[in-house]
Structures are given as structure tokens and as C-alpha cells.
Structure 1
Amino acid sequence: MFAWLKKKPALYDDVKRFNAITAPALSTPARTCRYLAIDLETTGLHARQDHIVSIGWVPIVDQQILLPQAQHFLIKPPVSVGQSAIYHGVHDKDLKDASELSEVLQLLLQEFSGHYFIAHHCRLDRAFLELAFQRYFGKVPKMHFIDTLNIEWYRMQKQGIVMKKDALRLPNCLARYKLPVSAQHHALEDAYSCALLYLAQLKKSHAEITIADLLVQSR
């Protein structure tokens, strides 16, 4: 009786398989790890009440961005995108043939176990992803995030640089490294920009920097 209350969602096993392949140890040299730069566009800034409308990701292996494996997905939200279209440029009419969020998350789990995840100001992306995984899969996967915004803040503090307003916005961070700046609020373009920034930060780091070092910097 009441066994159905304990039944796990059908996708629960996908999370278990993802978790079974652990990311490299914290002592691993950061330059040897595999990464996935990821970005979300959403209808707002509150994960519990707003919705994901697009996801972009870009893999990094051996300090190389793998553009052929980059992906961009439009996502069907349960409500109209409303005024948020002003920021991300995705309108309701663009979402008629959009992907189901559960299918995109399932693909992420299947292809990127053993990776470290990279995002610029990862707290927001992470909150949306964790709630989505909990909703559709019944369990949150063990995703280890490195935050390029916090790494940049750490570096500027160490160098004694006085930060001006908006100094940590992604375009301004890119400009400091003389990297190309693309249009903001497109999930794939922002994921690619984040990947570029991370590789530039890694290049400026000491040769033996480990994943543990970067996780400390990105807190």
C-alpha cells in the first residue's frame, strides 16, 4: 500500500549514472580537465517562480573550445515569456517548436558526466538548473561549478585594482583580456564568451594551478 508514493521519476536513473562518473580529483591540474561552459536565459531572476527559455553550452577539452559540439536550445516555458523578451530576444512565437526542458537536461547528463561546469555568476544558473533537475528527475546531480565572475573578482583584488561600476560584467571582463565581445543575453554566445574568459584566466594563472585552487577563487 502507498508504494506509489515512494516511486522515483523515470529519469532518476539518469542522475545516478551521471553521479557515478565523478569529476577529476581536486588535486588535478586545471589545464587537464574537461569543462562545459553553460548559460541560461530565463523569464526572470527568481528560480522558484520564473522559467528557462534557452540553454547554451560549449565544451572545453585540453584548453580547446570544441565549437562543433556547442549546442543551443530554445525551451518551452509553461507560461508566456512576457516582457522578459526585451532582454533575451526570445518571443512566444519563437518557441512553437522549442525543446522540452527535461529532454535537454537528459542530454546534458548523458554527455557531460565527469566535467566541471563553468558559468559567469553561476549562482543564478545553478539555482534554475537544480530546481529543474529536482522537478523532472527527482534528484539534483552533483555538478561542480567554477564561476568566472568570482575568479575575476579574486584576481582584481589580488592585484589591488580598484573596481569601477559594472567591472565584473561579462563584456567588461572580456575587454580586459582583449577578447571579442558579442551581444549579451543569447545563451550560446554568452556560454562561448564565458569559455573564452575562463581560458584567458587559466592562461594568466600559475602553471600548476589545480581545480581546488580555482574552486577557492570562484567562491
Structure 2
Amino acid sequence: MGSALTGWARPGADGQRPQLVPGWAALRRRWLAHRLRGARFQPLLQPPPANEWVALDCEATGLDVRSDEIVSIGAVRIVGDRILTSERLELLVRPERAVSAHSVRIHRLRTQDLADGLPLREAIEQLLAFIGSRPLVGYYLEFDVAMLNRAVRPLLGIALPQPCIEVSAMYYDYKFHQLPPYQQHANADIDLRLSTLMRDLELPERDAHDALNDAVMAALAFIKLKHLRSS
């Protein structure tokens, strides 16, 4: 996404953060710090705590990252192999336009349910404080990050600087290497639906299209896949 100094990568072979060329992380932090607006956001660029991540999900009024709006944000911290459900963030966001009936059918949040939600900028500031410099984990996280960056860029002067770890990519790699050699090709048929992933990994499912539930499921899958990759 964008500059070569953005943070998208697959996790390293041990399931931890991606391994970078020596000095690359420091170079990237300096590059971002030069563009960052405001000293209060400098902690976002500090080296992240060891073995800590934040699983993240957003619900939106639709799938158009240019025009649709975020209506809820869910995030939970991961430390080692533990999901700290006591350290979670669950925010409702007040959209500028009424929520469509189609959108309500998906995430079950009506316009009146969001009337007392936070303005998007305030929600973003709370989310950034919760994340800090921890890498982000999610299921199809690219959509969530793209939606968030519409508000993050005007606030920070940069996009979200945290490395991002995609659970569906981890699962794809895990399943791909289980295929017989003649099926290991670019068009390998691997079902990446979240419900399939959770059942295959023998993990508990929660109601989907709830931001916190989806964040917790992504965290569960991340921890399980991290172990499977290293075993």
C-alpha cells in the first residue's frame, strides 16, 4: 500500500513479526517521524513491546473505502499466547449519514443505535492510544486499515505506521503446505472464509459482523496459526 516504507508483510517463519533487513525498522521510524504531526503521537513510532499485538476489526456502512463510513471498532490486546479480554476496546462511531437497511442487516447497528456514538476523530484517537506501536492482527485487515486511514492521515500526516499481520494469509500458507505437490500452484483452491478457518482450526466461533467478536476470532486464529507454523 503506497510507499515502500509501509508496514504490510507476512509474519516471519516463527509466527512472530516479519523479519526486516538490519536497520530497516530504524530507517522506517525516522522516515515516518519526519512526517508525523505532533509530538503526542511519537509513541506510535517507538519499538513495539516484545510479543504483543492488537487484533482489530471495524464494521462499516459498506465496502467502498472511499465513501462508506465506520460505525464500530473492536480491538483486543494479545500478549504471548494470551488474549487479554480485560484489555479491549469497543467503540460505536456516529456516521454522518443515515445507515441503510442493507447495512443494518449485516452488522445490526441502526442509525438510532449510533446516535450517541463517538465522532470518528475521537474514536481514532482512542484507538491509537490503545494500539500504541503494537503490530496489528486481523482478518482481511487491509479493508479496516484503508477505512481507518481516511481519518488517520489528516490527523497524523501519515497512514497507520504499525506492521500488519493478515490472518487469512497465515491460514493460506498453512493450508497450502498441506496440499500434495501437484496442487501447490498459484490458483490453489483454499477456502478462506472466516467460518471455515475457525472450524478447521477447531476454534470457537462468535457472532460475525460484530467488531469485537471479529477481533477476538482473529486473535484466536493468529495464536493457533503461530503455534502450527512453529511446530
TM-score normalised by structure 2 residue count: 0.75
Structure 1 distance, partners of 2:115, 2:39, is 27
Give the partner amino acid of 1:38: L
Contact kept in structure 2, 1:121 and 1:148, CA below 8 Å: yes
Structure 2 distance, partners of 1:130, 1:148, is 20
Out of 72, 76, 100, the residue aligned to residue 58 of structure 1 is: 76
How far did 1:131 drift? Answer: 1.4
1:21 aligns with 2:46: yes
Structure 2 distance, partners of 1:146, 1:45, is 20
> In structure 2, do the counterparts of structure 1 residues 200 and 15 end up closer, same or farther at CA, with 3 Å as the change threshold?
farther
Contact kept in structure 2, 1:121 and 1:147, CA below 8 Å: yes
Aligned equivalent of 2:85: 67
1:130 aligns with 2:130: no
> Which residues of 2 match residues 140-155 of structure 1 at below 5 A?
140-155=159-174
**What per-residue deviation string (whole Å, max 9, x for no partner) do you get for residues 51-96 of structure 1?**
0000000100122110111121110111111121111110001011
Aligned equivalent of 2:196: 172
Contact kept in structure 2, 1:53 and 1:74, CA below 8 Å: yes
Contact kept in structure 1, 2:53 and 2:79, CA below 8 Å: yes
How far did 1:14 drift? Answer: 6.2
Where structure 1 has 5 or more consecutive residues not aligned to the other structure, the ranges are 1-10, 25-31, 208-219
Aligned equivalent of 1:106: 125
1:41 aligns with 2:59: yes
Q: Give the number of equivalent residue pairs.
A: 189
CA RMSD of aligned residues (A): 2.1
> In structure 2, do the counterparts of structure 1 residues 178 and 20 end up closer, same or farther at CA, with 3 Å as the change threshold?
closer
- Report the identity percentage: 27
Structure 1 distance, partners of 2:214, 2:112, is 23
Give the partner amino acid of 2:89: Q
Where structure 2 has 5 or more consecutive residues not aligned to the other structure, the ranges are 1-35
Aligned equivalent of 1:213: none
Structure 2 distance, partners of 1:143, 1:18, is 11
